[in-house]
Amino acid sequence: MTSSSNPERSAMIEVDGNAIAVRHRAGSTPGLVWLGGYKSDMAGTKADTLDAWAADEGLAFTRHDYSGHGVSGGRFEDGTISHWLAESIAVFERFTSGPQILVGSSMGGWIALRMAQELAKAGKSDRLVGLLLIAPAPDFTAELMEPELTDVQRRELETKGYLEEPSEYSDEPNIYTRALFEDGRKNRVLTGVIDTHCPVHILQGMADPDVPYAHAQKLVEHLSADDVTLTLIRNGDHRLSRPQDLALLTRSAAGLVALHNQPGSPAE
């Protein structure tokens, strides 16, 4: 499959002084908006697969690299949830129109939930007609990382301003800054009811070493105002990029599109 994320074909917009790379393909609605994970880029297997499926269906598809990621500008170490959220909203408002489905992978699931909250504050909840969350990691800094930090790591955060951990997905270590942890607390969503004003479908591997499936179950409890489907994949890992996982991803996206298009839906 040929990626449509060729850097030479990416549009660039400036957000808070950083050049953000965007790939947008026009089509019918509801469109799909891809939100990637921590230290990932928009040219990944899941994004490419979903884009190809959307193209076959004639649906619009939008994706971007956060600052410090992929072909976007900025330093990765300067990134926070607030920065990446602002960039995602800017891309959403600049490149999309009409009803959209947010597809968030890992940290992108957190960004998607925060986008839903911010759009609701702006009176734009009608722009979202579905959330598809893949191994979502909302509040991962406070919920999944901070409780596991060793005394040595806590001292590193205080003295160096960051800590490094080996990555299973890259030769380069993952870097987590003190600013990321501090900003993460300001963006927590697992503190009460999360009202996305749209259906939510969560795909979660039960063999995920990074985001335990109990975290997805906890998220469901906080989505009590919405129609939520949680699909657990018994032997699925964090990436969920096997052929059967990708087939499930496109079926789930198709389900949300069909739900929006059915007669009698709120948008009809």
* DSSP track, 94-123: HH--S-EEEEEETHHHHHHHHHHHHHHHTT
Instruction: Report pLDDT for 265.
Output: 64
Mean pLDDT of the chain, nearest integer = 94
pTM for the whole thing? Answer: 0.94
Give the pLDDT confidence of 212-224 residue by residue, as tens digits: 999 999 999 999 9
Residues 237 and 206 sit within 8 Å (Cβ to Cβ): no
More confident residue, 262 or 80: 80
In whole angstroms, give the CA distance from residue 74 to residue 78: 7
Q: Predicted confidence band at 266 (pLDDT cuts at 50, 70, 90)?
A: low
Task: Give SS3 for 213.
Answer: helix
What is the C-alpha separation between 66 and 83, in angstroms, rounded? 9
Mean pLDDT (whole number) for 180-187: 98
CA nearest 69: which of 46, 40, 92?
Answer: 40
Q: Considering Cα of 37, then 38, then 41, then 43, what sign does the dihedral take?
A: negative
Structure tokens belonging to residue 166? 């080996």
Q: Which domains does the chain have, with CATH numbers?
A: 10-261 (3.40.50.1820)
Res. 4: pLDDT tops 70: no
State yes or no: pLDDT of 2 exceeds 60: no
User: What CA–CA distance (Å, rounded) separates 170 from 173?
Assistant: 7
Phi, psi angle pair for 40, to nearest 5°? -105, 170
Are residues 16 and 75 in contact, defined by beta-carbon separation less than 8 angstroms? no
CA 25/CA 133 separation, integer angstroms: 21
Element (H, E) at 63: strand 59-64
Report the b/e string of 140-166 with b at 16+ CB within 10 A. Answer: bbbbebbeeeeeebeebbeeeeebeee
Bridge partners of residue 132, in order along the sequence: 103, 201
- E strand intervals along 75-198: 100-105, 128-134, 162-165, 174-177
Tell me if residue 192 falls in helix, strand or coil: coil
Cβ proximity of 66 and 125 under 8 Å: no
Alpha-carbon distance 264 to 122, whole Å? 26
DSSP state of 145: I
Apex CA 137: angle with CA 204 and CA 87, to 5°? 125
Q: How many angstroms from the chain centroid is the CA of residue 56?
A: 23
pLDDT, one tens digit per residue, over 230-260 is 999 999 999 999 999 999 999 999 999 999 9
